[in-house]
Structure formats: C-alpha cells, structure tokens
Amino acid sequence: MSIAAPMRAGARDLAHVAGAFGLGVVLLSAFLAIAGFHVAPALSALWNGAFGSWDNFTSAALVRATPLVILGLAFTLGSKAGTLNIGMEGQFAAGAIGTTWAGLHLGGVPPVLAVAVALAGGLIAGAAWVALPVILRMKLGVSEVITTLLLNFVGVAAVSYAVTGPLQEPSRIYPQSALIAPAARLPHLAAGSRLHLGFIFAIIIAGLLSLLLKQTAWGFRIRSVGAGPRAALIIGRMPVATIAATALLWSGALAGFGGAVEVTGVSYALYQNLSPGYGFTAIAVALLGRLQPTFVLVAGVLFGALEAGAAAMQRDAGIPAVAVQVVEAVVIITVLLTARRRA
C-alpha cells in the first residue's frame, strides 16, 4: 500500500462504507420484520443508543469503541508485518488479569504511578501471552494463526480460574475479583460521563502508529517484511523473521494493553465475559479500516456506536443484541468485496 493511495481513495471508500451500512440496516429491518418485531421503534432505539444524545455517544459508543480501536490497531500492526494475530481475545484476557493483579496491590501508591504500573502489567501480560506463538513461529515455523487462536481459549479459561481462585474477591461468593485500588483507575474525561482517559490513549496510539509506520525506518522495515518478504531479505537485507516476530510481539502487547484499559477505565475488576468478543470484532474493525491506523480509529468508533445501539435496542425494544451482527456482517462482507474487486 502506497502512502498516498489511501488518501486518494478515501472519498470512494467512505461512500462504500456508508452504502454498506445502509444495506446492513435494510437487511436488519427485514430480518426484524420477519421475526415479528416492530421495526421503527427498534431502529429508533438503535440510533438513540448510539447517537441519541452527547452522553449516549460518549458514555456508551466511545466507551465501547475504545477497546475495539486499541485491538484493531494491534491487529493492524501485526498484519503490516505479514502476521495474523487472531489471538487478541486471549491477549486481552491476559492483559486484564495482569492489570487486575497489579491493581489489587497498588493501595497507597500515588495515582499517576499506580495507573502506569497497572497499565504496564497489562502490556507485559499481553506480550507474555503472545510470546509462545512468537517463539514457535521463529524456531519451528509454526503458523501464528493456529497458536494465537488456540491460546484464546486458554486465556478465557485463565480468567475463569483467576476469578474463582487466586484473584477471587475476599468473600469468595462471586466469580470476580475485588475492585482495584482507586489510584490505579483511569480518570473520566468529564464529570458524570463514563468516557475515560483510555479513549485518548486510543487516539494517541493511532496517531503514533501511523507516524511510526510511515515516517520511521522501524515502520518501513515492518511494512517491507509484510508486503514483500523476499525483497526485504534480498534487497533490504533485513532479518525478516525477527522483524515479523517483533511486530507480532508488539501486537500482543497492545492487545494486552486493551485489556488493561478496559479494567482500569470501565470494570475496575476482573470477571468472566469481560470482553463480548472484542478480540474478534476488532479484526473486522481493522479490515474495515483497511489496516490504516487513522481509518481504524474511525471504523472502531462506528462499530462502538453499533454495539452501543445494539445494547439500547435490547434494553428498550427487547430485541437480542446479536441482531446487530447482521449489520456488522453486511458491512464487513461488502467492504471486503469492494476492496477485492479493486485489487
């Protein structure tokens, strides 16, 4: 992908995405009508849940967008180097465990330091979770698609173990951890809003990643290894396997960071089903964003809005939130089809 091309193609892409959303909503309406729901109140709830008010947009849509953006960027980084990190759900879980563990031990530590340590805990746990696939890929050539995917199940199981074992709350009744130290929690961006500092982190990471990929030798090496591994080796004389491994490691670390942000910004505790499949939805977000960090940010916000709307639809109109996956699926398929036709 050249540097200039996505900008030129931007307007047309936007039209495609908008059209895809329109088509998805039409299909969703048809689906709802067939299933015997009232379409108008359902769509109204969907819209209001996401964009009905400033508070709905920030407290619901952007809060859900935050992990999607961070994980989408994690997938983007791995993909740029030609690796496919399908294991972000597991790395997210590992990051959440790491941050929760750190956060429970941070009473009495100054806030800024406590937040930094808690977030670092998630980052390191995410990197550790992807370390095994990285080593297997480098030493034995085992595809990371399989190893990272399988470690998702282990990651989810590890959360279950943690919240019923070592990290369970003191009363030992509920399958969840105690709340992390208040000093380790991310501040909200406005009084009364649930939107937290993590969303700003997501924006910064998107900008940073965009800058690194385009303007630094580090990013150029990663893009070269992904786009033309043979040329990167022969002409660029790059250690191709090492560069790909580094990108995969950072991808895992970033996914772990996503889990850290969710715990420190939203849940303040570890429990099962902390992620409603963020690690998988984020792959769609990254693909929808054409693996361009700034586009991924926009795609993440769109999907965050959809998820927020879906929750509202379930609450206000009694329609299962999974129905919205029809829209997501239509958007993804349409965008992939148009991208493929152009290639």
Partner 1 sequence: MLHEISKSFGATVALSRVSLSVVAGQVHALLGENGAGKSTLMHVAYGMLRPDAGTVTVSAAGGIATTTHGFPSPRAARAAGIGMVHQHFTSIPALTVCENIALTAGWTETGRAAERRAESVVGRLGLPLRVSDYVESLSVQLRQRLEIVKALAANARILLLDEPTAVLAPREVDELLTFVREFALGGGAVVLITHKLDEVFRVADRVTVMRRGEVTLRDVIAKQTPQSLSRAMIGADLPPPIRLEARTGDVLVRASGLRLQRRGVAANRAGIEGADFSVRAGEVVGVAAIEGNGQRELLRAIASVDDIAITTGSLDVAGPVGFIPEDRTTEGLIPQFTLAENLLLGTIARSTRWLAWPALRARTGELLRAHDVRASGPDAAAATLSGGNQQKFVFARALAGKPRVVVAEDPTRGLDLRATQVIHERLRDAARQGAAVIVHSSDLDEVLALADRVLVVARGQVRELPRDTPRDVVGDTMLALESVA
Interface with partner 1 (CB under 8 A): 1-5, 214-218, 220-221, 223-224, 227-228, 230-238
| Cβ closest to partner 1, residue 111 vs residue 239 | 239
As measured in angstroms, the least distance from the Cβ of 148 to partner 1 is: 25
| Cβ closest to partner 1, residue 215 vs residue 242 | 215
| Cβ closest to partner 1, residue 234 vs residue 329 | 234
Rounded CA gap, 321 and 214, in Å? 38
| Cβ closest to partner 1, residue 128 vs residue 233 | 233
As measured in angstroms, the least distance from the Cβ of 241 to partner 1 is: 11
Rounded CA gap, 231 and 229, in Å? 6
Q: What is the DSSP string of 28-49?
A: HHHHHHHTT--HHHHHHHHHHH
Give the CA radius of gyration of the chain.
20
As measured in angstroms, the least distance from the Cβ of 238 to partner 1 is: 7
As measured in angstroms, the least distance from the Cβ of 208 to partner 1 is: 14
| Whole-Å CA distances, 212 to 8, 78, 112 | 21, 14, 26
Among positive and negative, which fits the CA dihedral 31, 289, 94, 311? negative
| Cβ closest to partner 1, residue 3 vs residue 208 | 3
Tell which residue, 113, 111, 66, 116, has the closest CA to residue 92: 66
As measured in angstroms, the least distance from the Cβ of 142 to partner 1 is: 16
| Cβ closest to partner 1, residue 154 vs residue 233 | 233
Structure tokens given for 123: 């980052």
- Tell me the three state secondary structure of residue 189: coil
As measured in angstroms, the least distance from the Cβ of 201 to partner 1 is: 24
Q: Cβ distance 278 to 292 under 8 Å?
A: no
Rounded CA gap, 124 and 103, in Å? 14
Rounded CA gap, 66 and 265, in Å? 10
Size of the chain in residues: 343
Among positive and negative, which fits the CA dihedral 95, 98, 103, 104? positive
| Cβ closest to partner 1, residue 265 vs residue 289 | 289
